[in-house]
Amino acid sequence: MRLWLSAAIALFICMPVCHAALMWKNPSVDLKAEAGASEVVTEYAFTNTGNASVTIKEITTGCDCTTPDIAKRTFAAGESGIVKVTFRLGDRTGEQRKTITIRTDDPANPESLLGLNVTIPQLWRVSPRFLYWRQGEAAKSQEIRIFVAGEKPQRLVAAEVLEGGVKAELREDVPGKAYTLIVTPAGTAVETKAIIIVRPEDKTLPLVPAIYASVIVDHPEKSATTEPAK
């Protein structure tokens, strides 16, 4: 009996322990978006390096702009797979950092964190963005230059005045690359604060940064008067 028990214990000790483990080839990805792009797509490759199957139960992201996709959920020992991630740029610019969380049924390693770092260049260069006239001066037109960054031409089709008494006219100087916005106030007698939006033909692209035009009225400080004491 003791001999059988000892053999069983020895067999149990020598038996391999089944475990799963997802090994990610590159858990953090750095990308630079092209000027004018609407999205970037990347892939995260992994391998189940354990000796048991593993199932991906959930994939979550911290932003609706980041969408994961995977062809299957369960991977046998030694099997590899890919998580595809699409990041929609919207009107974002500069450095963008997103996190993708992978949750599995592996009790030893139930969660993996993937990083996505995207640099989005400014599509439009506007100079200047602020125009002003002083009260009573001539209501002369002023100009703003708009340049398209990147190699791909982008057509601008409309300039819209959201508020304020000014007129905005868009002129194309170099097709798809350089524009002039001509802004003229209706008058300079009263204070005006206008916002001008320039829209691209491609509606998936971000708007040109808002342009501001103002008629500035000088408000002299009222001098305080004090009646002499009686």
The CATH number given to whatever domain includes residue 168 is: 2.60.40.10
List the end-to-end C-alpha distance of the chain, in Å, as a whole number. Answer: 122
pLDDT tens profile 68-79: 999 999 999 999
The answer to whether the CB of 22 falls within 8 A of the CB of 54 is: yes
Q: Which domain holds residue 53?
A: 18-120
The pLDDT value recorded for residue 62 is 86
Q: Which long-range contacts (CB under 8 A, 24 or more apart) does 106-111 make?
A: 106/19, 106/20, 106/21, 106/22, 106/50, 106/54, 108/19, 108/20, 108/21, 109/20, 109/21, 109/22
- The rounded distance, in Å, linking the Cα atoms of 208 and 126 is 8
Whether 52 and 139 share a structural domain: no
Q: Are residues 160 and 144 in the same domain?
A: yes
Q: What are phi and psi of 39, to 5 degrees?
A: -160, 165
What share of the chain has pLDDT > 70, as a percent? Answer: 86
Say whether both 114 and 145 belong to one domain: no
Do 114 and 128 share a structural domain?
Answer: no
**What's 110's DSSP letter?**
-
In sequence order, the 6+-apart residues with CB closer than 8 A to the CB of 76 are 48, 53
Q: How many domains does the chain contain in total?
A: 2
Q: Which two tokens stand for residue 108?
A: 């030893």
Q: Which of 73, 97, 120 is the last residue of a domain?
A: 120
pLDDT of res. 12: 43
Q: By the 8 A CB rule, do 126 and 144 touch? A: yes
Q: Write down the pLDDT at residue 148.
A: 94
Same domain, 22 and 115: yes
pLDDT by residue for the chain (230 residues), tens only, comes to 554 445 444 444 434 555 668 999 999 999 999 877 889 999 999 999 999 999 999 999 989 999 999 999 999 999 999 999 999 998 788 899 999 999 999 988 899 999 999 999 888 999 999 999 999 999 999 999 999 987 889 999 989 999 878 999 999 999 999 999 999 999 999 999 999 999 999 887 888 999 999 999 876 654 444 444 44
Q: Both 99 and 153 in a single domain?
A: no
Residues 173, 114: one domain?
A: no
Q: What's the one-letter identity of residue 91?
A: D
Decide if 212 is inside a domain.
yes
Would you say 91 and 207 are in contact if contact means Cβ atoms under 8 Å apart?
Answer: yes
**Does residue 141 sit in the same domain as residue 176?**
yes
How far, in Å, CA of 188 to CA of 139, rounded?
6
In a domain, 11, yes or no: no
Q: Are residues 208 and 143 part of one domain?
A: yes
Question: Rounded CA gap, 110 and 115, in Å?
Answer: 17
